[in-house]
Structure formats: C-alpha cells, structure tokens
Amino acid sequence: MGNFQARTDLALEARESISEAESELRGVRVEESYHKEEDVRVTKVMIDTRNAAKIMGKPMGIYVTMEAPALVEPDEDYHREISACLAGELKELLPESEGEQSILVVGLGNREVTADALGPRAVDNLQVTRHIVREYGAAAYNCEKMNQVSALEPGVMAKTGMETAEIVKGVVGETSPDVIIVIDALAARSTRRLNRTIQITNTGIQPGSGVGNHRNALTKESLGVPVVAIGIPTVVDAATIVCDALEKLLEGEEDLDVVKYMSRQQPGFPELYNMYMTGKDIDAVIKRISFTVSEGINMALGCSSL
Amino acid sequence: MGNFQARTDLALEARESISEAESELRGVRVEESYHKEEDVRVTKVMIDTRNAAKIMGKPMGIYVTMEAPALVEPDEDYHREISACLAGELKELLPESEGEQSILVVGLGNREVTADALGPRAVDNLQVTRHIVREYGAAAYNCEKMNQVSALEPGVMAKTGMETAEIVKGVVGETSPDVIIVIDALAARSTRRLNRTIQITNTGIQPGSGVGNHRNALTKESLGVPVVAIGIPTVVDAATIVCDALEKLLEGEEDLDVVKYMSRQQPGFPELYNMYMTGKDIDAVIKRISFTVSEGINMALGCSSL
Amino acid sequence: MGNFQARTDLALEARESISEAESELRGVRVEESYHKEEDVRVTKVMIDTRNAAKIMGKPMGIYVTMEAPALVEPDEDYHREISACLAGELKELLPESEGEQSILVVGLGNREVTADALGPRAVDNLQVTRHIVREYGAAAYNCEKMNQVSALEPGVMAKTGMETAEIVKGVVGETSPDVIIVIDALAARSTRRLNRTIQITNTGIQPGSGVGNHRNALTKESLGVPVVAIGIPTVVDAATIVCDALEKLLEGEEDLDVVKYMSRQQPGFPELYNMYMTGKDIDAVIKRISFTVSEGINMALGCSSL
Amino acid sequence: MGNFQARTDLALEARESISEAESELRGVRVEESYHKEEDVRVTKVMIDTRNAAKIMGKPMGIYVTMEAPALVEPDEDYHREISACLAGELKELLPESEGEQSILVVGLGNREVTADALGPRAVDNLQVTRHIVREYGAAAYNCEKMNQVSALEPGVMAKTGMETAEIVKGVVGETSPDVIIVIDALAARSTRRLNRTIQITNTGIQPGSGVGNHRNALTKESLGVPVVAIGIPTVVDAATIVCDALEKLLEGEEDLDVVKYMSRQQPGFPELYNMYMTGKDIDAVIKRISFTVSEGINMALGCSSL
C-alpha cells in the first residue's frame, strides 16, 4: 500500500521492509550468529547481484549489523566488550595486509548537533599515529609494526561551503591512505534500533537512496581506495515515523497515498521532511557510543592486532 | 475526541486547542497587535481566574506571545529589531522600579543537547554587571544608575543530581535578587511555531502540566520574588505530533483512544514519550535566537533603559 | 633577598621555599612514602599550629601531595592506577562514616580557558547518584548502600556576576550535603610540578594567599561542613617564573627588589600579573587528568567502597 | 649580546629588534598612517629584496600591521569600526578581480586550546556562500555578483596525524579557489602587543623562522594560488619573555649566552620552550577578536564590496 519510501540507513531494516517473496530473492544471503556472553546478535547481509541491490535499495557488498541492547546502558565494562566485538567484525571487512597500513578515519556529521555528532566525537578519542610513525617509526609505540592512523573531521556543507566528498577526496589525494574508515550517525526506521545497533559495511557511504556512483559518495569507486563505513542509528526520520504509524492504521485501504493524504490534513506536514526525532538523553548516549566506536577502531588498528 | 492531552508550553496553543465555547469563557482576555515594520504579531493572553487557569491548563497571569516569522532568517539587522521588541515587552512584565534593581537571569536546559541549549547559550551573551557595580558603582559603565545583573546556568538533574529548583532557590537565598528572569526552550504542539515564537510570561516556570505549586516550580510562590519567563519553542513532542496526525485522520470515530490504539499497533510507540522532534539546522537556529534573546535582555536591563 | 612573595598553591612548594631553619619549626610534620609499582611519591604535610600556618602561608590542616611523573603520559592503564591511589588518599581525608553520605562535588574554574577547565571537566565524568538514590534507593545500583553524589559547576565571576562562594553556599544551604569535595586547577611555582602533582587537603580552598576566614573561602568555617580540596597545578604564574629566574641570577645582591627593578626595566612587566604560563599540549593534558581525577572520586564514593 | 633568537611572528617586532643601522637597509620600506577616529595606527612594512628578507627573518612581501588599543575593550560598536578597517586593508592585499572570486578561508590552530582558537572560532562566524552560489547563483543573496566563500578548519597534527599543509593542499587541489585567506593566532615578543594588533600579509604562512619554501608552508609557492594571512598575537613565548627580561638586565655583559646561562641556573628552563604565556581573560578576548576578524572578512568579501 501507499508509495511512501521509508528512509532507513540500515540494510537490516531494508530487508525487513520488503515482502517475504522478494526477500527470498537470489543475490541476498543472510548469516546470523549470537554472542551470548556479550548479548550481541550479529547479522551479516550480503548483497551479491545488481538486481538484489536494486530491490534492497542498497549497493552490492557486505553489511554486518551488531545488535547490542546493552549499548544504551552506562556500564563501562560492557562497552569494552562491545568495542572488542566491533574490532573483530571491522578487521574482517578491512582489506587483508601483512604489513603496516595507512588508514584515514573520517568522522562525518555535525559536532554542533548532538544527534549528528557521533562521527566527530568518535574521532576525538582515536589513537592517531601517522605523524609519530612517520617521524620515529613503530618503535615509538614499542611495536614491531604500527599502522599509520590519521583522522579527519570534514564538517558539514552549511559550515564549509564544500561537499564532504570534495574535502575527503582532496585529503585522500594528498596523503594516499591504503584504506578509509568512515563513521556516521544513521537514521533508522524504527525507534527500537536507536542507539543499540552498529552497522559495518564495505560499501562506503552513499548519500541519499543508494545504488549508483553519486557525486557525493564516499566509496571505492569515488575515492580509489576501499572504504569501510561504521554507522549507528541515532535518529528516526520524523516523516518516516508518522507514515509508519499511519500505514499500520490504514492497512487494507490499498489506494491511499499516506504522504499526499497527510499533506492535505496537516498543512505543516511536509516540513517534517526537514526534521528528525531523537531521545531526550541523546547527549549521554552519544558520549558513550562514540567512545565505544573509537575504542573498537583503536583495538582493530593498534599494534597488537597486526 | 480521545483523551490525549497534547503537550504544549505555549498559552497561545493551549487556547487554540480548547473549543470555541470554552474559549469565550470568563477569565481569559486576549489582546492582539501587529508591528508592521518588524512583521511581529503580539498576542497577550491574560488568565484572570482560577477557573480559567484550570481549563487552560496554565497558571493565572499574563502570557505575551511574539510571532516573528523572520526569526528563522539569518538577517542580523532583523534580529536586532526583534530584540528591541522583546526588550519592550519584557520591561512591561518586569516589576516597576525607579532605581537600580538586582536581576538574576537563569538559563535553563542542557547545553549538550542542541535543541535544549537556548537557556545556557543566551546566558553566554548576557551583559553581567553585578560584580562590577558592587565593586565600582554604576560609574564603571558611565551611567548614573545601573542594574545589577547576575547569571546562572544550573544545568540538568542528570548531570547535577539536584533539582534545578534546588539550585536556583539556594542561589536566590544567598544573593537576594529583586526579580528573576528565566530563559528556556519550549515544546510546541505544531511545527508551524517552531523557532519563530517568543513567549514572555510573569507566571514563571511550572514543570509538567501546570496549575499548582510544584516542588520544582520556579515561581514567585516558590522563590519569593517575581519570576518572568522567556521561552521559545524549539522542539515538538514526538508523541504529540503523531497523535495530532492521527486525531485529524480519525475525526468522527469518537470513542477511539489514540494513545492506547497506537500502543497496540506500534510496540515502540510509548518510547516516543522520551523523544522529541527538531529541525535539521537546529544548531544555526539556536545560535541565532539565543543571541536575539540575550540582546533583548541586555537592552531591557542596560543603563539607558532605567 | 627581595620581597617578592612567590605564588604557589602547593603546600609542598611553600615548605621548600622557606629556609631550612624555618622548616624545622614546630607545628609542621612531614611524612613521606613511595608507591613503587605506580611510581607515586606521597608527601603528607601536616600544619598543626597557628604559628606554623602563618609562616607557611597556608591554613592549618593536612596536605597530601601525590607526585606521579607518569600522569603526563597517555597510558590509560597507568592512569587507572593513579586514580586508585587518589581514591585511597581521598578516603583518608573524608570524614569517617558508617552509612551513606551525601557528597557535593564542586568543579571550580572556567571551562572556556583550557588550563583552568580541570574542575568543570572532572565534574563531567562524575558518577552522579543523588537524584537516583533519592528516587529509587541504593538498589538502583545493585548496592546495599550508595552515597548520594551531586555535582556543581558554579562558573566564574566574570560570567555569573556572583562570587563562587555565594553560589556554593546557596546550594549547600538548600541541599545540605554531609561533605564537600572541591576540584580546582592550581598554580605551581615551578614547571617541574606541572600536571604531574595532585594535592589533596582537608582545609578547603582559600582564595589568595591563605590564612584567615575570607569572604570567598570554601572551608568548613564558611560552609558549615567539611571541605576536601583536590588540586593539580596546570599553570605557572608568569611573574613568578620571571622573578624566580632573576632571583637565581641575582643571588648575593641582597638589597635588590626584583619586582620594582623589573617594572623599571620592562614597562609591560606589571601586566605579567594578569598572565599565566602553560604547556602547548594543555588540551590533551586536561582531558587526561580530569578523567583521572573523576575516576578517583568515583572509586572513592562508589558503593563498593562503603 | 647573547645569541638568543627571539621568537616573534610580527614583522613590526622583527624590524624593531634589529639595530638601527640594519633597519635603514635597502629593501625595507615602511609607511605609517593613523586613523584618528578609530584610534588605529597602520604600519606597512614592505620587504622588497632577498637580502632584506634574510636580515628581517621574514619572506619578501607586504606586512600591514593595525595597532588598535581598543581591540581589548568590550565595546561592540568599536569592534565594528575595526572590522571595517580590517576589511579595507584586506581588500588591498587580495588580488584584484572584476568578477566573482572563489575564496577559501582557512582557520588554523587548535579549538581546544583557548589562546590558539582564533582561527577556528573566526571561521565559525564566517558567511559561507560557495554551496549556495553554485546551486542558486548570486541571486540567492539579492546581489548581482557574489563571491564563493568556503571555509576549512584543518585541525592540528596531534589530532589528525597529518600536516596542516597536506590537508589544505588537498582541499585546494579539489576545489580550486582563486585565493586563500589564512587566519592564525600569533606569538608576539612583547605583552604590549597582545590581542590588540592585527597583522595582514600577502606572504602566507611560514611555520618556523621564515625564509624558504618549507614543506609545511601555506604560500603561493606551495599552494599555487595567492595566500593572504591574517594574524593576531594572543600569546608570548615563555622563553622569549624570560630571555628578554634577562637581556635587559644583563646589558653590557656582552659575552653571556642567556639561554645557556639559564639552563644551568634553572634545571627546568628548557621546558619553557614548550610553554606559552597568555592573559587570564583569554576566553573573552578570543570570543571578541575572532568575531571582529570574521566580520572584517565578511565585509571584504560580501556582495556590496565587489
């Protein structure tokens, strides 16, 4: 019913929102596992064909989703375990390498908007090593080998006047990293997944709805090196949540276009498309999960892990 | 229909949401005026009786609402005009005085959550004079008389472990101001009023739904001195907006309780009560309007205005 | 020589700067110990008499100084050990109690000036429990007993127009804590102690040079409850360092007043009294040591420690 | 006497510190003017020859110094006048152009260290237009022509692992601006010039002492487009101030090397080279002067000025 395209950045939700018939399509493989001790459920969605990518509205590649209910709890020990989990999954998606690598970590988003500050805040706690390794070698860290980690907070277009992709592309061209890790706050379709789900994908970032080589994409195609993206949904699109509620309510009235209907009923409704919804304790949440993410990256890239 | 109590901090919206019959009730007077040059519409709602207060869900007192559509525009000159308007309305609600007064300005809210940072950020730009006037006299400002302005950012309970009212009451007890001005971000019922409406009231702040002398109130009753509150709606309650949409949709089905209905349909629906909705450019908005508010207060309290 | 009163907040330095003859004075006892594993040297200076207080320029009481060279290192594990050390020393200075206590932690200083942000930033990472314990009891923390910890960042007079002591006194009067812990950045006389020394004292805070019941003091006398102060020197007074250098240089020229001399030679010299000197990496230092301090307090006040 | 090379970023101070005989050297021209109304003294030092550059320790080019004593005053009106002055001087150093230009403004420094935050904070208040002009044309600003202004805050190497010059070079390569404006906090030799002097130069930025095409330079040679630098001294090098004091004191003792002497006398003295000295009200100062600078740039680049 309806023709409203719910907005979600999660492959897991994209899969749930397509009909069962479609979900059995060739080209989408799903693997699930459960880490009992940490209470983390890991789902790996692999989109293998162009056709599958089109139906899912997501580019071909691997999407690992870690569902960790306790990510919202303030228990520090627990977060360390999730960081370790994240480090493990991240290393599987990073390109293999025997020696030292140069990795650029990019924290996307707007530091001044709490719910969008995940990327910049995660970058704050990163162990940045590139300048030290280049000056003094891995020995400075008492390691035989040490990755060269650099970090970038490109900011948002409203503040820089530049596309994020322009800034990243320029810095990549000048510093030639072997691989890029991008961190970003995501939008989920459901409040259930907010702040407790981590998605890791080797497809990079495709602003907007997905498939294709967009001008603003941060992908292997656009940047020339592999791009792994780590995202956590911290907001729900306001229009999405209202539409979801209404679709549930109107089930059966097949020919109703919810969006058009709402625009007639509520004059301000289209404004919802510039709004987002988030929790009232979002400051504490962002502080915690940004630390969990940066710790995970530090574990994955530190010298003990080479 | 339904029994959902829409949450709004605006007396203007409270009045709109009651039926016409009720709105003609005795004890509520309304005056409107329009400042053509600045395109500011001023509505003064006066709640004069206990009965009216009960129906409106707001304490007795005067509520001035300035609707300034251009408050969302980035034009600095325009903001100066709105600040001047605000200064004028504010001075009318402040207790009269011939001489110098001591005024404590309290910036409520959470600096770390962008949409809730109006109070703390407004306080940042305030012209604080108390310590100078007490040390050197009004002469330090080349004035004959100068108000003693002090400022407090009490923070939020999750960070302090204390009620805001405890902190304010303590500081008031120790520094004995003649009057208190409280600045806070409000919740509106409609996105239409977001970031472009200023409410000034001499009733202070009543956390929760309203009438009565709450433990956490910031009012003349609880603090012992007059309290004028300045508020701007920066968020819409997430549950409110969904319910409003549904009520519109279900008009006629008199016996449906929207909230219960939604809780059955959408398992995550009650979580909406801990969520808020706000615009994607909320950082730029807060930066601008907090400055407009502090400038208005500076104009109202500075020496030229005595 | 000279009559320049070097400014230091450290009892350890005060003792070093008086002559040996004076230091053997009655009324000052010194105990030293060394924690080999953590490489922490603990010196306990006890000023027992009024006369000793006068000579030392510090009020009577106990001053524990932890010298931890590795406090400047970015090793997290090491910081955890220093936090544990700090927790131990802190508990010895806190008043004994068998049951739950109510503790107000005050973060002094100016968040906007990096070298002065130790107090506010330490308070950011504190485990604040008062509101939870009062609402749900210690059970909310799976403890039998849990202290009620509250936190206050009073800000600086230039921003509030009020003395820090007025704000603290007001909040203490309203919330009646059993004990107060104050955190502040200190000035050292020597760069050698910068950022690697923690002073804990049961004398509270005496702004300015010391002995006496000042209007702005945060002490048991002024607040009515015991006050323990935790301080770390993060700056050196600019005038102090120049004068120290000159005194060394001019040793022997007994009748030279360095300050007057410098004022003649360098017209801008008196301006130095409004300046401070700090390290170029002060942002990283403050981030680390504020966390070490808050972790130490959390350990000392958490339920396992009751 | 001595061989200490005092560190200053100001051409004005460099000129003062060389002997009179040298200052009359060919290749250095000086023009002075005084704007009575705004009490701003403008000195233009033009270094025209390689030899002069070598003696001055500054690259060839034009250095405009605005000395505005009232820059330290909190009077907003006054700051607007200084911004206008700055806009005028800036436009004279920018390359001439009849049409729209694309200008990248780079805010150097560390936002987390107050005295070093001038660049990042100035960029916060910039009117960024590039993305709007490219999407909607100058008409979006009701102008016939509008410059395309973009802004970058590259951060510091300790946080990014990359040289500032690498980041700027990459972004320049990708976005091809016509000219670059760089804003930075400077070190002065004397406290007298702190926070009240603006230097504008068309030589860009040369980290370290000066002449030559350094790897980390931000100059026309290294970036391929003209670079105008705006700097305000906010700190004094700690070693510089001590050495200056001592040199004054020791005048006549020709053969004394102050630095070596001090290193013997004060074991911690070499540490001074990693320290800086700044005023206690540096937060208020940076807030004000960063706004003055960004307003000046906005005036110089806005549509009325084309």
How many percent of chain D have pLDDT more than 70?
Answer: 80
Rg of the Cα trace of chain B?
20
| Confidence check: pLDDT of D174 > 80 | yes
Position A24 scores a pLDDT of: 61
Nearest chain B alpha carbon to A242: B242
Q: Are the CB atoms for A100 and A179 separated by under 8 Å?
A: no
DSSP helix, strand, coil percent of chain A (3-state; round to 5)? 45, 20, 35
Higher-pLDDT residue of C152 and B74 is C152
Mean pLDDT, range B52-70, rounded to an integer:
90
What is the least distance, in Å, from the CA of A148 to any CA of chain B? 32
Neighbours of C55 (CB within 10 A): 18
The CA dihedral of B103, B108, B113, B116, to the nearest 10 degrees, is: -100
- Output the CA torsion sign for D45, D48, D54, D58: positive
Neighbours of D95 (CB within 10 A): 11
Q: What are the pLDDT tens digits along chain C (306 aa)?
A: 233 344 578 888 877 766 655 656 678 889 999 998 889 999 999 999 998 888 888 889 999 999 998 888 777 767 889 999 999 999 999 998 888 999 999 999 999 999 999 999 999 999 999 999 999 999 999 888 999 999 999 999 999 999 999 999 999 999 999 999 999 999 887 788 889 999 999 999 976 543 334 568 999 999 999 999 999 999 987 777 777 666 666 665 555 566 666 666 665 666 677 788 898 899 999 999 999 999 999 999 997 666
Q: Do C150 and B169 touch (CB under 8 A)?
A: no
Among A175, A180, A222, most D C-beta atoms within 10 A, so best to mutate, is A175
CA distance to D7, D243, D244, D275, D276, per residue, from D237 (Å):
7, 10, 11, 7, 5
What is the least distance, in Å, from the CA of D273 to any CA of chain A? 20
Beta bridge partners of A198: A66
Q: Is B159 on the interface with C (CB under 8 A)?
A: yes
Q: What letter would DSSP give residue A218?
A: B
Which residues in chain C touch residue D266, judged by CB atoms under 8 angstroms apart? 244-245, 248
A205 three-state secondary structure = strand
Q: Is the pTM of this model over 0.95?
A: no
What is the least distance, in Å, from the CA of B124 to any CA of chain C? 7
How many percent of chain B have pLDDT more than 90?
Answer: 55
What is the least distance, in Å, from the CA of C41 to any CA of chain B? 33
Q: Is D197 on the interface with C (CB under 8 A)?
A: no
Higher-pLDDT residue of B100 and B207 is B100
Which residues in chain B touch residue A192, judged by CB atoms under 8 angstroms apart? 267-268, 271
Q: Is C51 on the interface with D (CB under 8 A)?
A: no
Q: Is D97 on the interface with A (CB under 8 A)?
A: no
**Which residues touch D39 (CB under 8 Å, ≥6 apart)?**
D68, D69, D70
Q: What are the pLDDT tens digits along chain A (306 aa)?
A: 233 344 578 888 877 766 655 656 678 889 999 998 889 999 999 999 998 888 888 889 999 999 998 888 777 767 889 999 999 999 999 998 888 999 999 999 999 999 999 999 999 999 999 999 999 999 999 888 899 999 999 999 999 999 999 999 999 999 999 999 999 999 887 788 889 999 999 999 976 543 334 568 999 999 999 999 999 999 987 777 777 666 666 665 555 566 666 666 665 666 677 788 898 899 999 999 999 999 999 999 997 666
How many whole angstroms from its chain centre is CA D126? 17
**Location of structure tokens 């008043």:** C95
Q: Is A6 on the interface with B (CB under 8 A)?
A: no
Confidence grade of residue D203 (pLDDT, cut at 50, 70, 90)? very high
* Residue B26 to residue B51: CA distance in whole angstroms: 9
* Residue C68 to residue C79: CA distance in whole angstroms: 10
Q: Do A283 and B248 touch (CB under 8 A)?
A: no
Which residues in chain C touch residue D272, judged by CB atoms under 8 angstroms apart? 191, 241, 277
Position C21 scores a pLDDT of: 57
Largest CA-CA distance found in chain A, in angstroms, rounded: 69
Segment among B97-111, B255-269, C155-169, C193-207 with least mean pLDDT:
B255-269
- Output the CA torsion sign for C74, C75, C78, C84: positive
Q: Do D275 and C279 touch (CB under 8 A)?
A: yes
Mean pLDDT, range D180-207, rounded to an integer:
90
pLDDT in tens, D246-281: 666 666 555 556 666 666 666 556 667 778 889 889
pLDDT in tens, D81-100: 999 999 999 999 999 888 89
Q: Do B284 and A249 touch (CB under 8 A)?
A: no
Which residues in chain C touch residue D275, judged by CB atoms under 8 angstroms apart? 191, 236, 277-280
Residue A130 corresponds to which amino acid? R
Position D261 scores a pLDDT of: 66
Q: Do B281 and A158 touch (CB under 8 A)?
A: yes
**Location of structure tokens 């919206």:** B13
Q: Is D149 on the interface with A (CB under 8 A)?
A: yes
Q: Do B166 and C160 touch (CB under 8 A)?
A: no
Position C270 scores a pLDDT of: 66
DSSP one-letter string for C60-109: SEEEEEEE-GGGGS--HHHHHHHHHHHHHHHHHHSPP-SS--EEEEEE-S
* Residue D302 to residue B10: CA distance in whole angstroms: 39
Position C128 scores a pLDDT of: 97
Mode of pairing for the β-strands spanning D197-201 and D61-67: antiparallel
Mean pLDDT, range B34-56, rounded to an integer:
90
Q: Which pair of structure tokens corresponds to residue A3? A: 């023709």
Nearest chain B alpha carbon to A261: B249
How many whole angstroms from its chain centre is CA A94? 15
Q: Which pair of structure tokens corresponds to residue B154? A: 């009490």
The CA dihedral of C109, C113, C116, C122, to the nearest 10 degrees, is: 70
Q: Are the CB atoms for B46 and B28 separated by under 8 Å?
A: yes
| Confidence check: pLDDT of B207 > 80 | no
Which residues in chain B touch residue C163, judged by CB atoms under 8 angstroms apart? 131
Beta bridge partners of C47: C28, C61
Which residues in chain A touch residue D172, judged by CB atoms under 8 angstroms apart? 170
* Residue A72 to residue B31: CA distance in whole angstroms: 48
Q: Do D249 and C248 touch (CB under 8 A)?
A: no
* Residue C248 to residue D25: CA distance in whole angstroms: 39
Position A47 scores a pLDDT of: 92
Q: Is B240 on the interface with A (CB under 8 A)?
A: no
What is the least distance, in Å, from the CA of C154 to any CA of chain D? 17
Mean pLDDT, range D297-305, rounded to an integer:
87
- Output the CA torsion sign for A120, A126, A130, A136: positive
Position A210 scores a pLDDT of: 38
Which residues in chain B touch residue A114, judged by CB atoms under 8 angstroms apart? 112-114
Highest mean pLDDT among A4-18, B64-78, B167-181: B167-181
What is the least distance, in Å, from the CA of D91 to any CA of chain A? 21
Confidence grade of residue D54 (pLDDT, cut at 50, 70, 90)? confident
* Residue B95 to residue D231: CA distance in whole angstroms: 48
